[in-house]
Amino acid sequence: MTALIGIDWGTTSFRAWRMGAGGEVLDRVDDGPGILAAAGLPGGFRQAMQDRIGSWLGTAPVIASGMITSRNGWIETPYLPLPLDAAALAANLTLHEGIHFVTGAVSDPDGPAPDVMRGEETEIIGHLSGGGGDGLFVLPGTHSKWARAEGGALTGFRTVMTGEVFGALRDHTILGRLIQPGPGSEDAFRRGVEAGRQDGALLGRIFSARTLALMDRLAPDQVADYLSGLLIGDEVAQGTRDAGGPVTIIGRGDLALRYQTAFAVLGIAARITPPGMAQRGLWEIARMGKLA
Amino acid sequence: MTALIGIDWGTTSFRAWRMGAGGEVLDRVDDGPGILAAAGLPGGFRQAMQDRIGSWLGTAPVIASGMITSRNGWIETPYLPLPLDAAALAANLTLHEGIHFVTGAVSDPDGPAPDVMRGEETEIIGHLSGGGGDGLFVLPGTHSKWARAEGGALTGFRTVMTGEVFGALRDHTILGRLIQPGPGSEDAFRRGVEAGRQDGALLGRIFSARTLALMDRLAPDQVADYLSGLLIGDEVAQGTRDAGGPVTIIGRGDLALRYQTAFAVLGIAARITPPGMAQRGLWEIARMGKLA
């Protein structure tokens, strides 16, 4: 019997779970159009959802998190201020066209550098609801999120545009001209992390990706890994500057492993959470909201 | 009577001067194809030079500096190590097809972050030869150079990719999507400089260009100036972190004025050199090399 249908709907990704009475996963969909693609389809978001999980619909409440509640999503919802826990997210669900939308979070809205997230708050709730402790988190991605949880609530976060800037540097600056594709070089990545952890202007240090290649001290098929390491190394060194204790990586696949390598190079304890944080967070928020 | 013909030939620019027996400028050309454009012309670099200053040629020695001696230039010449003064540059001129090429400089070639320049060394020599003192210099551009001169010689420098990264962020990341063109806002630029001077990951601070716009705290036609200020503010704050005394800006036009504004916001004394540093540097190197 289906108790809840959960959707994590991001800019470029769509994942959904059909859950049973104890929150266990009965069925899952791991691919589908992100909001950018779905918005352009005939029938839009509703049809995109129908196409992927139509056979589930009507059997249980639907809850959704992620960029689907942004200006370019299905419905734009306000950001909630910090501190933010599962109860506050549950109390602020937006019911629209039969779907319970989890809204995003805002950090320091009146300060000089406000910040926002949509979706990652649910993953952090998933971690906390499963007995994971407070502490410092990184959620690597196109826009990495560094977040802190205290007393079971999200209390602060910062977006770092590492992934997107890497792509822009590789594809649209002089740094990319010497790059040749290759099998991937962990050694070059580690050299990059060492350059990234150093002090000094980041936009100066990245130039070493070019000069080392010009001087034949970095092979053309190593430049991209070096540059990736340099940006991630800078991010991790700065993100952990004032941190006490270990860092929890919420993420999957190659990118999470890259961050784990960077933490290792920097001598900082880090562990990757098991998969399923978004699904667990959706369950927890639904449970607090009496949906499941 | 023409004593020397000098050319400053960069990636995207060509400038030339016809000089008299005292180094005075008798005639000048301020526009012409940079090396990227010239390389693709029929007849290549020689024809491009002939087209612009053909009437001068044959009357005096020709000396040229800039990216024209890079891998993509007329002839690739080695980089000279630091410290580097006019005498060393004169002793290492490369005569090729009748032109005396000034070669570039390398900083820390065996260290973790080697750096290179071609052309800026000549501008700094121009400043020093005119009685300008030692100190810290910034040469703003697509790739800004931060350089130090001691005892009349170039002793260190660092390339910061501020201009090129600004373009890549504006044109190829999410930061650009909220940008609308406008008349230019010095207030937004100054707000950006304040954000740029702060500590913390640069790739995090730049995200404020998006969040402030999302929250209607930055107008769409101010986002670009804010982002420009943020990058230049970070560059200037980091470039002057360990500097004593005032900074000399070698540059022209709107970009030099932007840097001067950034220095003012940060409370650091800075002055812009008079125009003509490249021409004066070429004269000085030629004079030391007994060409003029």
Asked if B165 has any chain A CB less than 8 Å from its own CB, the reply is yes
Q: Which two tokens stand for residue A237?
A: 């060194």
- What is the full DSSP assignment across A78-138? PPEESSB-HHHHHHT-EEETTEEEPP-EEESTTSSS-EEESSHHHHHHHHHHTT--SEEEE
pLDDT of residue A244: 64
Strand, helix or coil at B69? Answer: helix
Residue A24: pLDDT band by 50, 70, 90 thresholds? Answer: very high
Instruction: Please report where in the chains the tokens 């196109």 appear, as a residue.
Output: A142
Q: Which residue of B has its CA nearest to A201?
A: B238
Cα gap B285→B83, rounded to integer Å? 15
pLDDT of residue B47: 97
| Residue A34 sits in the same domain as residue A90 | yes
Q: Which of A240, A239, A235, A249 lies closest to A206 in space, CA to CA?
A: A235
Cα gap A223→B256, rounded to integer Å? 32
Question: Do B192 and B201 form a contact (C-beta atoms < 8 A)?
Answer: no
Which chain B residues contact residue A242 at CB under 8 A?
A: none
Question: Do A156 and A82 form a contact (C-beta atoms < 8 A)?
Answer: yes
| Residue B196 sits in the same domain as residue B180 | yes
| Residue B203 sits in the same domain as residue B227 | yes
- What is the full DSSP assignment across A216-260? TSS-GGGHHHHHHHHHHHHHHHHHTTT--S-EEE---HHHHHHHH
Q: If residue A45 lies in a helix (H) or strand (E), which one and from where to where?
A: helix A44-53
Average pLDDT, chain A: 96
CB contact under 8 A, B171 and A172: yes
Asked if A1 has any chain B CB less than 8 Å from its own CB, the reply is no
- Each residue of B254-276: b (16+ CB within 10 Å) or e? ebbebbbbbbebbebebebbeeb
Cα gap A248→A220, rounded to integer Å? 33
Asked if B111 has any chain A CB less than 8 Å from its own CB, the reply is no
Which chain A residues contact residue B202 at CB under 8 A?
A: 201-203, 234
- For B33: left if phi > 0, alpha if psi spans -120 to 50, otherwise beta; the answer is beta
Domain that holds residue A30: 4-126+281-288
In tens, the pLDDT along A73-129 reads 999 999 999 999 999 999 999 999 999 999 999 999 999 999 999 999 999 999 999
Asked if A269 has any chain B CB less than 8 Å from its own CB, the reply is no
Asked if B41 has any chain A CB less than 8 Å from its own CB, the reply is no
| Residue B65 sits in the same domain as residue B124 | yes
Asked if B109 has any chain A CB less than 8 Å from its own CB, the reply is yes
Question: Do B157 and B107 form a contact (C-beta atoms < 8 A)?
Answer: yes
Q: Which residue of B has its CA nearest to A157?
A: B204
CB contact under 8 A, A161 and B238: no
In tens, the pLDDT along A118-158 reads 999 999 999 999 888 999 999 999 999 999 999 999 999 99
For residue A8, being part of any structural domain is answered with yes
Asked if A72 has any chain B CB less than 8 Å from its own CB, the reply is no
Strand, helix or coil at B9? Answer: strand
Which chain B residues contact residue A175 at CB under 8 A?
A: 161
Q: How far is CA A136 from CA A106, A111, A235, A250, A275, in A?
A: 17, 22, 14, 11, 18
Which chain A residues contact residue B212 at CB under 8 A?
A: 114
Which chain A residues contact residue B174 at CB under 8 A?
A: 143, 161, 164
Instruction: Please report where in the chains the tokens 């504004």 appear, as a residue.
Output: B261
pLDDT of residue A121: 98
| Residue B26 sits in the same domain as residue B124 | yes
B194, B203, B217 member nearest A162 (Cβ): B203
- Per-residue pLDDT at A186 exceeds 80: yes
Q: Which two tokens stand for residue A65?
A: 């998190």
pLDDT of residue B286: 98
Q: A194 vs chain B: nearest CA distance in angstroms?
A: 9
Q: At what angle do helices A223-239 and A253-266 cross, to 10 degrees?
A: 70
Q: How far is CA A105 from its chain centroid?
A: 14
For residue A113, being part of any structural domain is answered with yes
| Residue B115 sits in the same domain as residue B183 | no
For residue B30, being part of any structural domain is answered with yes
B174, B194, B211 member nearest A115 (Cβ): B211
Q: Provide the number of structural domains found in chain B.
A: 2
pLDDT of residue B244: 64
Handedness of CA B106, B111, B115, B120 (dihedral sign): negative
Task: Provide the residue-wise pLDDT of chain B in tens; the chain has 292 residues.
Answer: 999 999 999 999 999 999 999 999 999 999 999 999 999 999 999 999 999 999 999 999 999 999 999 989 999 999 999 999 999 999 999 999 999 999 999 999 999 999 999 999 999 999 999 888 999 999 999 999 999 999 999 999 999 999 999 999 999 999 999 999 999 999 999 999 999 999 999 999 999 999 999 999 999 999 999 999 999 999 999 999 977 679 999 998 999 999 999 999 999 999 999 999 999 999 999 999 999 9
Q: B208 vs chain A: nearest CA distance in angstroms?
A: 5
In tens, the pLDDT along A211-263 reads 999 999 999 999 999 999 999 999 999 999 977 679 999 998 999 999 999 99
pLDDT of residue B245: 72
Asked if B181 has any chain A CB less than 8 Å from its own CB, the reply is no
| Residue B125 sits in the same domain as residue B180 | no
Q: A132 vs chain B: nearest CA distance in angstroms?
A: 26
Cα gap B164→B30, rounded to integer Å? 23
For residue A18, being part of any structural domain is answered with yes
For residue B118, being part of any structural domain is answered with yes
Q: What number is the ipTM of this complex? A: 0.94
Q: At what angle do helices A186-197 and A223-239 cross, to 10 degrees?
A: 40
Write out residues 212-231 of B within 8 Å (CB-CB) of A.
Answer: 212, 214-215, 217, 231
Task: Check which CATH number belongs to the domain holding B250 and give it.
Answer: 3.30.420.310
Q: What is the dihedral of CA A50, A55, A61, A64, to 10 degrees?
A: -40
Strand, helix or coil at A26? Answer: strand
For residue B155, being part of any structural domain is answered with no
For residue A217, being part of any structural domain is answered with yes
Handedness of CA A23, A28, A34, A38 (dihedral sign): negative
| Residue B179 sits in the same domain as residue B100 | no
Asked if B235 has any chain A CB less than 8 Å from its own CB, the reply is yes
| Residue B21 sits in the same domain as residue B124 | yes
Q: Which residue of A has its CA nearest to B201?
A: A238
Q: Which of A177, A205, A7 lies closest to A99 in space, CA to CA?
A: A7
| Residue B12 sits in the same domain as residue B123 | yes
Task: Check which CATH number belongs to the domain holding A69 and give it.
Answer: 3.30.420.300
For residue A212, being part of any structural domain is answered with yes
In tens, the pLDDT along A226-240 reads 999 999 999 999 999
| Residue B18 sits in the same domain as residue B125 | yes
CB contact under 8 A, B115 and A169: no
| Residue A252 sits in the same domain as residue A174 | yes
Cα gap A210→B113, rounded to integer Å? 10
Asked if A36 has any chain B CB less than 8 Å from its own CB, the reply is no
